[in-house]
Structure formats: C-alpha cells, structure tokens
Structure 1
Amino acid sequence: MADVTGSSAPFPGRRASARRFDWRGLGADARAAVPDASLALVITGLIFWWLYVRIENGTSPSIEIMPPFDDASEYWWYWLCQAFGWSALLWAYVTVVFGLLRSGTRPPWRWLSAARVEKWHRTTSLTTIGLIFLHMVSFFAAELQTNFDNQATGELVRDTLVKVFVPGGYPTGTGRIAIFLGLIAFYLAIVLGLAFYLRQTTGSRLWRALHRFVIIVYVLSAWHTLLYGTNVWFDGSFRTLVWALQMPLAALLLLRLLAPARPSERLRLRGPRRESRPLPLTARLAGRLAVVATIAGLLAVIISGADGGRTGHGHSAEPWPDRWIIWTGLLVLTLVLVAVVHRLRRAPQAPARDGGPGNDDLAADQHAG
C-alpha cells in the first residue's frame, strides 16, 4: 500500500471499540476484494502450471540449482509456493501503482476518479497480504513434505514453524537472508497496511505519515524474489526484464514525490514553510534523492546484468547482507517510526483545504463502487 486516503478525525458518536479498529470497513473491503482475489488465484494457477510444465520437460533453470526437485509431481507444494510468491509480487506491484496514483497527480482521465483508485488500492492490498500468507503456508507444507522422514512429527512441525514464520529462524543457505527479508516484508505489510483501519484512533495525519513507509515492503519483497527466488537464480533475459519493470514504478514514485496531490507535501526550497508539515525539509529532500539514486542503481543493474543473484551455473557471491545488518536496519526503521509517532501524535488535525482529500472525500471513498 502507499499513501492513499484523506483526513478523518474520530467521530465522537461512535463506540470506543469502533474507534479502535474499523472492523466494519475491513469487512467491506474484504468482500469487495473477492473478485480481485479470485483473479489472483487464477493467475497463481497459471503460473503454477507454467512452472510445473517447465520442470516436467526439463527446461527450468531451477533444476540446475536443485536437481532433487526435478519431479514436479512429488514436490508440487514447493512449486505452488513459488507460484504464490510470483503472484504476490505482481499484486504488490499493482497495489503500489494504485497507491502512488491515489496520492500523487493522477492522469486526467474522467473514469479514473480518486474514489475508484482508492477502492482498487485497498482491495489489491488485502489480496497481496493474502497471497504472501499463502506463499508462506505452501512453503511450510513443502518443508514438511521434504523433511517428513527425517524427524518426529511434533519436532518437525515445531521446527518448521520457526523456520517459516519466525524472522531469522531459517538456518541454512540463501534462505538465511531470503526468508528473513520476506518475513520482514510480510509483517511490515500487516502493520503498515492495516493501519488504515486504525485511522479513526490515530488520526489521518499520523496514519498517512506512517503509511508512506509501506514502500519498504515492496522493496523487501522484490529483493527477496529477484536475488534469491529459485526461478531467477540464473542470468538471462527474464531476470533482466523483471528488473526493467521496476523502472516505471521507481519513476512513478519520483513523480509522486515531485508532484504530490497535497500542496502541503510539495518540496519548497524557498518561500514560507509551515511548521505543521509532517516531515522537515531535509527529510523530504532526502527521500527524493534516494529515489533518484534507486533509479540510477536500477539502470546500472539492467545495463550490466549484475545484481548479486545466482548465475546459470548456480554460482553466486555469499548471501549479503549479514543478518545483523538487517536487524540493525529494522531497528533504525523502528526508531524512525517511533519518532514520527512522537512528532505527530499530539499534532492537531489540519482541515483539508490544501487540495488533498478530507472527510467528505473519505465518505465518498467508503461508499464508492
């Protein structure tokens, strides 16, 4: 998810339980996501079929890395896990696009209203979280299947739960880093994504500030897949294409930062600066420079073809970074989030007069479609 909705102060007439978490809104969005989730399952099935056929006919590069998995019918749980991972990354890509369109300057198409993009963003976000969870569940089943004869059932289930669902619990191989990154992305998606349904308690200004960090979820997801996914552990046009597809997303993110929907979020190096801005000038400037650096890095990867992943013969550098570096980055992110909460928790809610959506806009979004 990306920064999407508008201002909505708590409604005094609601019960305290309703103000804590918007279960009604979550239920409505979950029902609206049924067509979207159904399409995602169909796409997952097609990806699974494609992977299955390539394993069966011997054309999958993954067999070079993992020869024991050349029997697709025996290890179908693993290939289903891979299929859910790819569809999850695809839906993450789509929902980030919708979020950036919602919070930035949208194309002047009459059918692309703010309420419609908002609805698409919320439903695809929920579908993405569901796909990631199914990716993890199918990996759990694949691990049970692979190690069933090596451990007692109770011990196997306990150890597999730790390996699949606990960050840092996977002990060996590229999974030490890959699964670590994927789990952090999943739990951050839950916290930063579903925070939308707490906006009546936190206030929309604080929620919007926190929700901007959800772009990190996509970065971690893409990193998890492109550097360590077994289906891209090879040099070739496919991996280069997937990297190239990140360019439009990075460009859209830069456009959203340079031309946000809310004038209060625009970068003004001169002129009056309002003290009520959620982020100081240096932080907003650093964000734009970071995106420019990301685009330059993507271009370097696409041109050179070197991204740190495995080559066609399975050779690669040692997994990087070490887990302590990831833990340190997570700690820094947590401290930044705490600082944002501390800065904005007592800030008054500004009226929606800067061109961004306000309470009326929110009501339109909730009843859209």
Structure 2
Amino acid sequence: MQQNTEPTAPEPTAPEATAGVPGARRPESSRPAPPRVTLRSDLRASGYDGLVALIVTGAVFWLLWVRINDRSSSTATVMPFMADDPEGFWLYFLSQAFGWSALLWAWGTVILGLLLSGSRPAWLPLSGPRLERLHRTTSLNVIVLTLAHALLFAAELVRHDQDSWYASAWTAFVEAFVPGGYASGTGRIAIPIGQAALYLAIPLGLLFYVRHRIGPRTWRVMHRFVIVVYVASVWHTLLYGTNVWYDGWFRTSIWLLQLPIAALFLVRLLRPARRAQRLAAPGSSPGAKAAWTLRAAGRLAVAGVVVAVLAVLATGRDGGRGEPPADTSSTHHHD
C-alpha cells in the first residue's frame, strides 16, 4: 500500500491552549482588527503635514512681501497704497499667503485622490494605506488653511474700518462669509466663488468619517464633487488674487499646476480601476447608451482641458487682464 505523503492539516487550537506559548500562532479569529479611522486619529496624524503647511505659508508670505516691496507684484498696480505702506497691510498679505497654501494643499489632495482612485503607478514609493492617510490629512489641512485665509481677510477689513469694533466686525463678517455681502469690484463674483469652495470643502472633507452611516455608495458619489471645490478655488484665485491680476509668470504658474491634474484625470477616465467605469461598447438599452455617451463626453471634455492648459502655457495668456486699466485705485475704501 502506498503511504500518503500529503501533509495533514493541524488540529484547531483553542486560544487558551496557545496563550503564553512562545512562537504560538494566534487563530485568525482572535487577531486584533486594524484600528478604526476616526476624525480624532486623523487630526492627530495631520500635525506634521500642518507644520509643513505653516512653513510653506511663511515662505509664500516672504515672497509676497518681497514682491510688493520691489513693486514687481500686480498688487502694487491694483492697489498702489499697499505698496506705499506694506507694513500697514501685513494682514492682507498674510491672508493671501494662507490662501496660496490652501490652494497648493488642495492641489496635492486632488493629486493624491486621483492616484488612489485609479491604477496606482508602480514607481510610487507610498503604499496604498499611507497614500490614503496622507490624502485625508491634507484634506483636513485644506479646510484649516482656507478658514485661516478667510478669517485673516475679515481681520484686515476690521483693522481698516473706522466704525465701532462691533459694527466693523459685523461688516467684515458679512463681506467675508456671507455670499453677496461683498458688494464692490471683482469681489462681487470672486468672493462668493471662494465662499462656495469653503462651504463645500467642509462637509465633503468630513463626510468620510460618517460614511458608515450614509453608505459607501452615497459617500463615493458625494466625494466626486471635491473636484468642484478645487475648480472654484482656482477660479477664485485667478479672479481675485491681486498678485496674479495680470498676465505674467506668476499667473501662468497657476495654469502649470493644472497640467498634472488634467493629465491624471484623463488617465483616470481612460483607464479606470473599476471595470464598470470602463468605456466598453455601448449596450443596446437606452440607459446603457446614455451612460456610454456621458462617459465619452467626459473624456473628450477633459482632453480639451489638457489642450487648453497647454495652449495657455505656450502663449502665457488665458484671456484675462492683459494690461493695467487707466484707474488702478481699489474699489474697496480704505482710510
């Protein structure tokens, strides 16, 4: 008779029998589950990222300060009284620095999100869980940086208001945080766009921590609107950032940042990680044909965005302000 040489499965071992035995393997059922991701744990983990954001904000503030002092910034053209007395408007420049950091961190968050939602490149040194955690911490810091940007802008309005402190604080609150409250110049359009970005970023950034209550499918659908927050932030910057008011390398650099996002977004659409999102042959049903048409149109639109960004980078013009107007005085009154 041939002897059975196949290894036999070991008998199940009770947890009590292996307790305290060196080298004993714990049963799968008794292994501790990975720690649950909570808002508190991510806030603790976001400290290092937040410190880097503050350092970058300081560097941006220094750059803005140098440019306003040597009058190479568009701010000196749009609001020359700030160039005449930069020390008197340091809160404004600090607010702009936080706004730029918020935009940079939003850019990084979108990049990380696109890398997570598609096929992760083999050259990327970060693992999937680390990439996801960094995506969450940068998202939280975007909210903090944007809030700081808005609060410092309001503080600047209070500082130069001649009314009583409570009246000026109320006016500043309305102008900085109430849509339609800022009723002068380009701010009538640009500030509500920035407010929309802030008010959308807060719930969309925090919905992750209650996804078990609203359902993963609902969360995924809502999370896609993060790109709307980013587009609104860029639009707000191009419309109201006085240091990028006119065409030039500082304004063109904003468009340069959009190229990798548009490219990654196009790759994400052309090679989605989920099979259901791939652009296969359209089905015979009207619903399948409509979905195919919508996905094909989305891919063409993003490809058009890539071409448009390349055109702006090549020409240095985006259809905005090409030269200073005859009257460069600010439409917002400061004494």
Q: Which runs of 4 or more aligned residues in structure 1 lie more than 6 Å from their structure 2 counterparts after TM superposition? A: none
**Corresponding residue for residue 295 of structure 1:** 306
Letter in 2 for 1:294: V
- CA shift in 2, pair 1:84/1:314, >3 Å: farther
Higher relative contact order (CA 8 A, sep 6+): 1
**Corresponding residue for residue 5 of structure 1:** none
Aligned residues of 2:98 and 2:146 also touching (Cα < 8 A): yes
Q: TM-score, normalised by structure 2?
A: 0.80
| Partner-residue secondary structure (3-state), 2:217 | helix
1:75 aligned onto 2:89: yes
- CA shift in 2, pair 1:298/1:119, >3 Å: same
- CA shift in 2, pair 1:312/1:146, >3 Å: farther
| CA distance in 2: counterparts of 1:283 and 1:191, whole angstroms | 27
Larger Rg: 2
Deviation at 1:263, TM superposition (A): 1.9
User: 1:36-89 deviations in whole A, cap 9, x for unaligned?
Assistant: 001000110111112112222333231111011112211100000110011111
**Corresponding residue for residue 253 of structure 1:** 265
**Corresponding residue for residue 229 of structure 2:** 217
Letter in 2 for 1:297: A
- CA shift in 2, pair 1:181/1:110, >3 Å: closer
Aligned residues of 2:146 and 2:198 also touching (Cα < 8 A): yes
Letter in 2 for 1:83: A
**Corresponding residue for residue 52 of structure 2:** 39
**Corresponding residue for residue 127 of structure 1:** 141
**How many aligned positions are there?**
289
What does 1:1-369 align with in structure 2 at a 5 Å threshold?
Answer: 25-70=38-83, 71-109=85-123, 111-147=125-161, 149=162, 151-270=163-282, 280-314=291-325
Structure 1 window deviating more from structure 2 (236-245 vs 36-45): it is 236-245
- CA shift in 2, pair 1:203/1:48, >3 Å: same
Q: TM-score, normalised by structure 1?
A: 0.73
| CA distance in 2: counterparts of 1:280 and 1:196, whole angstroms | 27
Q: Which runs of 5+ in 2 are unaligned?
A: 1-35, 328-335
| CA distance in 1: counterparts of 2:205 and 2:284, whole angstroms | 33
Q: Which runs of 5+ in 1 are unaligned?
A: 1-22, 317-369
Among all aligned residue pairs of Structure 1 and Structure 2, give the percentage whose two residues are the same amino acid: 51
Letter in 1 for 2:79: M
Structure 1 window deviating more from structure 2 (230-239 vs 288-297): it is 288-297
| CA distance in 2: counterparts of 1:238 and 1:180, whole angstroms | 23
Aligned residues of 1:227 and 1:310 also touching (Cα < 8 A): no
Structure 1 window deviating more from structure 2 (36-45 vs 185-194): it is 185-194
| Partner-residue secondary structure (3-state), 2:176 | helix
| Partner-residue secondary structure (3-state), 1:73 | helix
Deviation at 1:272, TM superposition (A): 9.1
Deviation at 1:112, TM superposition (A): 2.5
| CA distance in 1: counterparts of 2:80 and 2:124, whole angstroms | 53
| Partner-residue secondary structure (3-state), 2:301 | helix
- CA shift in 2, pair 1:201/1:284, >3 Å: farther
Deviation at 1:201, TM superposition (A): 1.0
